[in-house]
């Protein structure tokens, strides 16, 4: 299970986690409802999660009592659902795999095993490995470059943006820098691209599903990141 937690205290002003406002004050004695309009917001829509007007004070209550408090999820946006994470990754794989599949044709990617007949009529099975190895290395570089660049750019690959998700550093919510983005991509993609992709994806999904409290995969733990629902 995850042991990393955000540091105590007030988060930075540019914290992209977009901490949610505190909940409304309790109703006055003798009446009132938690669904009533909060003070200072007559007739207007309720803020997200039923909170009152945001006063800029992250530590004023609600969701664990402030940033880095007893609740390790205090102030975070909702963690990304496992189903959306899977669909986002599937979209990203298709975005990269389809062009690579087309490029791989001249590399003989689909003709690794060929059968020929020698002068005596015997069948000879040959495995063409030279070009296919080059293509495999090219695929690894492309996958790593795509995931690293998109994650470093704004915390979201194309798949995550379509599903309304993004990657953030666990300790302060910022967009991962190059080292963290590359580490995350390498731990996630290299085992799957080199061998046993189905088994590795299954292990990753299971780890995310059972991890508490941050729903981190092994790649998230290595890079110290979380995947959250992006602010609209």
Does residue 223 lie in a domain region?
Answer: yes
Does residue 164 lie in a domain region?
Answer: yes
Specify the pLDDT at position 31.
Answer: 44
DSSP designation for 122: -
The answer to whether the peptide bond before residue 164 is cis (omega within 30 degrees of 0) is no
Residues of the domain holding 98: 82-229
Kindly report the average pLDDT of the chain as a whole number.
Answer: 74
In contact, 225 and 170? CB cutoff 8 Å: yes
| Whether residues 89 and 153 fall in one domain | yes
Does residue 46 lie in a domain region?
Answer: yes
| Whether residues 198 and 102 fall in one domain | yes
pLDDT higher than threshold 80 for residue 39: no
Query: For the chain, what is the domain count?
Result: 2
Beta pairing class for 225-229 and 165-169? antiparallel
Assign 68 a pLDDT band (cuts: 50, 70, 90).
Answer: very low
Specify the pLDDT at position 192.
Answer: 80
pLDDT higher than threshold 80 for residue 227: yes
Does residue 45 lie in a domain region?
Answer: yes
**The two three-digit tokens of residue 161, written as one number:** 């943006």
Instruction: Mark which of 70, 93, 118 sits at the end of a domain.
Output: 70
Does residue 86 lie in a domain region?
Answer: yes
Does residue 149 lie in a domain region?
Answer: yes
Does residue 201 lie in a domain region?
Answer: yes
| Whether residues 47 and 162 fall in one domain | no
| Whether residues 89 and 202 fall in one domain | yes
Instruction: Give the mean pLDDT of 4-13.
Output: 60
| Whether residues 95 and 179 fall in one domain | yes
| Whether residues 92 and 202 fall in one domain | yes
| Whether residues 95 and 183 fall in one domain | yes
| Whether residues 50 and 100 fall in one domain | no
| Furthest-apart CA atoms within the chain: distance in Å | 102
| Whether residues 110 and 46 fall in one domain | no
Does residue 13 lie in a domain region?
Answer: no
| Whether residues 61 and 89 fall in one domain | no
């Amino acid at each position: 299970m995850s042991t990393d937690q955000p540091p105590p205290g007030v988060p930075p002003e540019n914290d992209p986690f977009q901490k949610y406002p505190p909940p409304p004050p309790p109703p006055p004695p003798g009446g009132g409802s938690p669904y009533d309009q909060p003070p200072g917001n007559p007739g207007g829509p309720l803020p997200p999660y039923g909170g009152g007007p945001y006063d800029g004070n992250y530590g004023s209550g609600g969701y664990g009592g402030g940033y880095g408090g007893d609740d390790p999820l205090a102030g975070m946006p909702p963690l990304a659902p496992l189903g959306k994470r899977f669909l986002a990754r599937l979209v990203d794989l298709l975005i990269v795999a389809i062009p690579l599949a087309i490029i791989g044709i001249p590399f003989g990617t689909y003709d690794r095993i060929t059968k020929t007949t020698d002068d005596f009529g015997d069948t000879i099975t040959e495995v063409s490995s030279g070009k296919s190895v080059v293509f495999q290395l090219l695929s690894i570089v492309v996958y790593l470059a795509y995931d690293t660049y998109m994650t470093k750019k704004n915390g979201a690959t194309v798949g995550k943006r379509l599903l309304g998700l993004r990657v953030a550093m666990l300790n302060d919510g910022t967009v991962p820098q190059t080292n963290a983005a590359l580490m995350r991509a390498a731990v996630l993609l290299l085992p799957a691209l080199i061998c046993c992709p189905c088994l590795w994806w299954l292990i990753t999904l299971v780890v995310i599903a059972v991890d508490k409290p941050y729903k981190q995969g092994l790649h998230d733990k290595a890079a110290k990141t979380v995947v959250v629902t992006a602010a609209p």
